[in-house]
Amino acid sequence: MITVFGSGAFGTALAISLAGNGPVCLWARDAAHADDMRKTRENKARLPGAALPAHVHVTAQMPEMPQEGIGLLAVPTQQLRSFLETHGDALRECHLVACCKGVETGTGLGPTRIIAERVPSAMPAILTGPSFAHDIARGMPTALTLACADVPAGKALQQALTTRNLRLYRTTDTIGAELGGALKNVVAIACGVTMGAGLGESARAAVMTRGYAEMFRMAAALGAEPDTLAGLSGFGDLALTCTSDQSRNYRFGQSLGRNEPFDTSITVEGAATAKAVLEQAKKMEIDMPITDAVVALIDGKLRVGQAMDMLLSRPLKEE
């Protein structure tokens, strides 16, 4: 049985899709939330309108994980370390697949490296790419990247996690896959700011393109393969997240651009990632002006007009 740890929208959607292959365990941190999902067969709080199939078993108890069992870690990146510190012993002989996007504040680590650090006996992987929970839950066709450094393990995971509507492409470049998924959220915030401030679609296209250049510079400096950033986990996810109101990061950016409050109960991975990435970029002397502007806007150190002036006044150069 595959276990999905985390009953947010994305974890629930994965459980619904994987239930087409067989039994799936969906773990919820909150017992009351788990009980409500069992009774209603729906995650009303995070994914309303999507019915939980009979094959989805919901629990708040830590399940017994078999040797080489598969655990999908659908918890926010900033909470991943604490989750593994609490439950790592039960997961020590598993294949652990991160289903979150971001860079940990303070360490600059991505999800697979957090897994390797906290549960060194487990086989880490990451599932990422252009996807919205509601699309997956509704059975809409979705293509994702599965990154695992171990080729045989990656092939086995690819077979186990492919469903009727989920097509998985495999790579061994875990660094590129996790950085693509993390950095595109920062660019999505910037694109949301652009549209929220009424600067137009041409400006959004420019921000998206130059943001992709920043993603490439950072990923290349950290050892990622260029082709990975051009694939689903990089360009593909960037295109989706920077153009749709379904993206939490994009909506957060729109709120910044309009100078409106944003619902603090909604996880915006790109906000924490932007700060972690900028700190790392400064240490490595990597030029990331859009990321710099996003952090300044989040911290209230710049207004949108000032940020735009800062970007437009940079020295002219070749593309």
User: Which among 39, 101, 184, 301 is annotated as catalytic?
Assistant: 184
311 pLDDT above the threshold of 80: yes
Strands 2-5 and 47-51: unpaired
CATH 1.10.3720.10 is held by the domain 182-312: no
What is the predicted pLDDT for the residue at 318?
79
CA 9 to chain centre: 12
39 pLDDT above the threshold of 80: yes
The whole-angstrom separation of Cα 12 and Cα 228 is 27
Q: What stretch(es) of the chain map to CATH 3.40.50.720? A: 2-172
Query: Per-residue pLDDT averaged across 155-183, rounded?
Result: 98
48 pLDDT above the threshold of 80: yes
Compare 1 and 153 and report the one with higher pLDDT. 153
CATH number for 2-172 (one of 3.40.50.720, 3.30.70.580, 3.40.50.970, 3.30.750.24): it is 3.40.50.720
Compare 248 and 319 and report the one with higher pLDDT. 248
Query: Per-residue pLDDT averaged across 31-60, rounded?
Result: 97
What is the predicted pLDDT for the residue at 315?
82
pLDDT band per the 50, 70, 90 thresholds, residue 317 = confident
Contact 215, 190 (CB under 8 A): no
227 pLDDT above the threshold of 90: yes
What is the predicted pLDDT for the residue at 116?
97
Catalytic status, residue 317: no
Q: What stretch(es) of the chain map to CATH 1.10.1040.10? A: 182-312
Is residue 190 exposed (0-12), middle (13-18) or buried (19+ Cβ within 10 Å)? buried
